Amino acid sequence: MVLTLTFKATKHREKQMAAIIKTSEEIDKMRIAGQQAADVLTMIEPFVQVGITTNELNQRCHDFIVNEQGGIPAPLNYHGFPKSICTSLNYVVCHGIPNDKPLKEGDIINIDITVIKDGYHGDTSKMFMVGKTSILAKRLSMIAQECLYIGINLVKPGARLGDIGAAIQKHAEKNSYSIVREYCGHGIGAVFHEEPQILHYGKKGTGDTLKVGQCFTIEPMVNAGKRNCKVLKDEWTVITKDKKLSAQWEHTLLVTEAGVEILTLRPEETIERLINHD
């Protein structure tokens, strides 16, 4: 089945195509690309302050990736995307385009970085709080990160994609939030968005079975209000229909013999890079 934009969840899928299993040489490259994407988020953190524009953040990330890392910012010109990073502010769900508007006190923003290094992709995003933010905003961001971590903790050979989606959905809904359905995680490697699609909702015991050597992202989009989205006239920016806040966190993962390796882990995180279920 042909997908136009592979990260846009297709509705009526036929049979799932097999995931691509990476060789150990490819996995080495995925580790480097993942590390670099993570390093960009760490680098940009001190600059995410009241008054900076998302274009300035875009420029800093672009220059760091190209000049310091010898990498390529994957979003730039990807299906016509005009910038090097995605910046999704407040009620923007994903794919926000950097612009000249300064950040203001109380904003929440997702910065999504994808680096190509030596032909392989590392894809990761996190939420930043700008100045003092509301309790709701902080809680939404925290629950969205917990959704990501709950998903990651279920990754191991033999686990099913529906187990992961169901657990993520359950955690969001238990906290009276909703999960976006139209966008999903994805297989990743030499191709930015490859099979399979990783839905952040679903039914336990259904879906593809995970295999050692497979790489994919988990990137739940959690809405404070209803799950429904719409795309703005720029054909990229996805917003919540009810204009309530949305939060997203993303990691690139490798399925290992014993569980999972988080390829885009940052030093600030409390979760382990290697999760061993044996």
Binding residues for ligand MF3, rule: CB under 6 A, are: 7, 75, 78-79, 81, 86, 95, 112, 114, 123, 219, 250
Please give the Cα distance from 265 to 17 (Å, whole number): 28
Nearer to ligand MF3, 6 or 133 (CB): 6
Nearer to ligand MF3, 86 or 199 (CB): 86
Three-state secondary structure call for residue 8? strand
**Residues whose CB is less than 8 angstroms from the CB of residue 245 and which lie 6 or more positions away in sequence, other chains included:** 90, 91, 108, 136, 137, 140, 223, 224, 225
Nearer to ligand MF3, 81 or 173 (CB): 81
Interface residues with Co ion (CB under 5 A)? 112, 123, 217, 250
> In the bound complex, what is the minimum distance in angstroms from residue 250's beta carbon to Co ion?
5
Q: Which does 182 bind (CB under 5 to 8 A by kind): Co ion, ligand MF3, none?
A: none
Exposure string (b/e) for 231-259, b if CB count within 10 Å is 16 or more? Answer: eeeeebbbbbeeebbbbbbbbbbbbbeeb
> In the bound complex, what is the minimum distance in angstroms from residue 215's beta carbon to Co ion?
11
Please give the Cα distance from 132 to 25 (Å, whole number): 45
Nearer to ligand MF3, 29 or 193 (CB): 193
> In the bound complex, what is the minimum distance in angstroms from residue 195's beta carbon to Co ion?
13
Q: Which does 126 bind (CB under 5 to 8 A by kind): ligand MF3, Co ion, none?
A: none
Nearer to ligand MF3, 43 or 258 (CB): 43
Chain centroid offset of residue 60 CA: 20
Residue type for 274, please? L
Q: Which does 118 bind (CB under 5 to 8 A by kind): ligand MF3, Co ion, none?
A: none
Exposure string (b/e) for 14-37, b if CB count within 10 Å is 16 or more? Answer: eeeeebbebeeebbebbbbbbbbb
DSSP state of 103: P
Nearer to ligand MF3, 208 or 219 (CB): 219
Q: Which does 121 bind (CB under 5 to 8 A by kind): Co ion, ligand MF3, none?
A: none
> In the bound complex, what is the minimum distance in angstroms from residue 81's beta carbon to ligand MF3?
3
